[in-house]
């Protein structure tokens, strides 16, 4: 994938198409992120962001900012991630960031937005990032609730609302395992 994205970067550079160049470079940022090379990922996102800001492309700016925030979050730079995420629509990552900052109410609110926002099978990396972050938020809130609640949780507590939301979702989709295995993996885009 790295070789293909490097070649694509050369081609679009030759075409002098800034938007395509930003696409390739941001995809490379995604690839490096998932490979665990956060420094390379950050470098890619920052290069694409600089170009996108020069063109005032709001969609690309948001994508790159979300990528930079993801790197910050993965590197435990929570305050830096939060400063970016509160300006983007990356609700799953924002939920995880808020949870790590100790704001369980805020984390649950954004996690529920992600749960309610995406319906049906999705395979794009940014949706998967939102789901992964949201899953971690739900898991941590449920674990915290179980650790600190010897009696049944109070109605309306974060734990109770999290549990209720997940139960409603599982009852609404009884065959969720079959649905998740039917994802169209052909729609995945290789990162640049």
Give the tens place of pLDDT for each residue, 151-176: 666 667 777 777 777 666 545 544 43
Taking a C-beta distance cutoff of 8 angstroms, is the pair 191, 30 a contact? yes
At residue 181, the pLDDT reads: 31
At residue 73, the pLDDT reads: 94
Distance CA 71, CA 39 (A): 8
Tell me which residues of the chain have a pLDDT lower than 70. Answer: 118-131, 149-155, 166-192
At residue 121, the pLDDT reads: 61
At residue 182, the pLDDT reads: 29
Name the percent of the chain lying above pLDDT 70.
Answer: 73
- Helical ranges in 36-77 per DSSP H: 38-55, 58-74
Closest among 87, 141, 81 to 111, alpha carbons compared: 141
At residue 168, the pLDDT reads: 64
Q: Please give the angle made by the CA atoms of 89, 93 and 95, to the nearest 5 degrees.
A: 95
């Amino acid at each position: 994938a790295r070789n293909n994205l490097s070649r694509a970067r050369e081609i679009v550079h030759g075409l002098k198409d800034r938007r395509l160049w930003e696409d390739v470079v941001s995809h490379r940022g995604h690839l490096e992120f998932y490979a665990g090379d956060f420094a390379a990922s950050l470098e890619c996102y920052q290069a694409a962001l600089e170009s996108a800001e020069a063109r005032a492309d709001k969609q690309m700016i948001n994508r790159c900012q979300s990528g930079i925030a993801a790197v910050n979050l993965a590197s435990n730079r929570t305050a830096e991630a939060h400063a970016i995420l509160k300006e983007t629509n990356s609700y799953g990552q924002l939920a995880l960031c808020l949870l790590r900052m100790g704001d369980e109410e805020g984390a649950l609110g954004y996690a529920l937005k992600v749960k309610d926002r995406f319906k049906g099978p999705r395979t794009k990396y940014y949706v998967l990032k939102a789901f992964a972050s949201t899953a971690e938020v739900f898991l941590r809130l449920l674990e915290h609730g179980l650790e600190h609640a010897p009696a049944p949780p109070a109605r309306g507590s974060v734990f109770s609302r999290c549990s209720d939301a997940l139960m409603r979702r599982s009852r609404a989709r009884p065959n969720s395992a079959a649905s998740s295995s039917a994802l169209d993996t052909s729609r995945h885009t290789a990162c640049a």
